[in-house]
Amino acid sequence: MLGFVQSALTYIIPFLLVLTLVVTVHELGHFLAARSFGVAVDRFSIGFGRAIARWTDKSGVEWRVGWMPLGGYVRFAGDANAASVPDGEDLEVMRREIEAREGTGAAARYYHFKPIWQRAVIAAAGPFANFFLAVALFAVLLMAFGKTIYPARVDGVVPGSPAEHAGFQVGDRVIEADGRRIESFLELRQIVFLRAGAQIDFVVDRGGRTLTLTATPERRVVSDEMGGEQRVGVLGLEARESFNDREVRRYNPIQAIGGGAAMTWNILDTTVYYLGRLVSGRETADQLGGPLRIAQVSGKAAQAGAEGASDIGQVLLGSGVALLNLAAVLSVGIGFMNLLPVPVLDGGHLLFYAYEAVARRPLKAEVQAAGYRLGLALLVGLMLFATWNDLQQLRVFKILGGLLS
């Protein structure tokens, strides 16, 4: 029993806090955009399931808190169609029913009768709310704590590694990799991880001289900080982070917003690059994670943030900071995923609206329904694959095999 409680506090609660924050902000983006265009909204819910608290505001919106804290949702008035884009016949029937019930012109308040551009803005507002959340969280952390940077200095070169073959030497400082400015060894490692088998040009500072070296990272199995294993690109460079070498960069509010935007863009750019290599077969799916990985990362982040704390206040502060950073990263991922042109996701709605704008009529309901089923199947399949990947990464099958043998 004690072990279960400890696991809940360590993994489940941080996971729920992070997920609920990110998904609620996503839905809040849809809600605020809809209200700005005068769309009638029935309900905004934080969490799912039976309500443990509810109230109705002056505009008639029911606000509720569900007992299952796994995100939330916003429900527009009359939003019964699964794809949220009824066809022409459905729209006409809906209009007659609304006007018979509420009077002439009442349909103008409903989402489906708004101009296409307004519906597109509402659909895109959720993902962009996630991007804004990431920028805001990164900015707050930069203002409060600054950014700790350890220079990308080479303290060791593994014999026989791609780095040795390329001519790297101890004392080199990497200032550019694959055309990107490098400020820290962490940034260098992130670039190398995703470029196994790809030739990379490096610009290094060697005793005041600027040199260009070319190396191709080789794919190796490495253990990550979460206890799992991944096949990533490895160059063979070693660094020893010294307290005397570190630089703590401070940010004013304007600089912090710019820094937060840059960090958000970097995550997006890295995600697109990784997916491009994955689709082309040049990258493995090791880094695709599902809810198990998110829960594990949430727990590890909370533990790492609390490490070394001397009292409960420092524990909460450290854990909170780590989870806010994780929430920012996850928010970018959820925002990007929802913009993919897959029915069921916001990007799928935008795809339907693009067709409607060109054809001057909504897509037929049967086609939308088929697209919805296909999109749902793809989403479920991806989730199952990610969960299977999580189990493998966490070496669950090896552990079970050892217990059963």
Domain spans of the chain, in order of start: 148-249
Note the pLDDT of residue 222: 72
Residues 185-229 have pLDDT tens digits of: 888 888 888 888 889 999 999 988 999 999 999 988 776 655 556
- Report the CATH fold assignment for 148-249: Pdz3 Domain (2.30.42)
Note the pLDDT of residue 405: 43
Is the pLDDT at 329 greater than 90, yes or no?
no
Is the pLDDT at 70 greater than 80, yes or no?
no
Note the pLDDT of residue 321: 76
The span from the CA of 187 to the CA of 151, in Å, is: 10
Residues 128-137 have pLDDT tens digits of: 999 999 999 9
Least confident of 90-94, 244-248, 388-392: 388-392
Residue 316's pLDDT band (cuts 50, 70, 90): low
Least confident of 225-229, 352-356, 382-386: 225-229
Is the pLDDT at 385 greater than 60, yes or no?
yes
Is the pLDDT at 298 greater than 60, yes or no?
no
Is the pLDDT at 257 greater than 90, yes or no?
yes
The span from the CA of 79 to the CA of 86, in Å, is: 9
Residue 82's pLDDT band (cuts 50, 70, 90): very low
The span from the CA of 300 to the CA of 326, in Å, is: 10
Q: Where is mean pLDDT largest: 118-127, 212-221, 295-304?
A: 118-127
The span from the CA of 359 to the CA of 54, in Å, is: 42
Contact predicate 35/15, CB 8 Å? no
Q: Which one of the listed residues 27, 176, 218, 356 is annotated catalytic?
A: 27
Q: Where is mean pLDDT largest: 67-76, 136-145, 355-364?
A: 136-145
Residues 15-66 have pLDDT tens digits of: 788 888 999 999 999 999 999 999 989 899 998 888 899 999 888 899 999 8
* 241 secondary structure, DSSP code: -
Q: What is the mean pLDDT of the chain?
A: 80
Residue 372's pLDDT band (cuts 50, 70, 90): confident
Contact predicate 47/70, CB 8 Å? yes
Query: Which tokens go with 284?
Result: 């493995």
pTM over 0.75: yes
Long-range contacts of 364-369 (CB under 8 A, 24+ apart): 364/87, 365/81, 365/86, 365/87, 365/89, 365/90, 368/81, 368/83, 368/85, 368/87, 368/343, 369/82, 369/83
Active-site residue flag, 27? yes
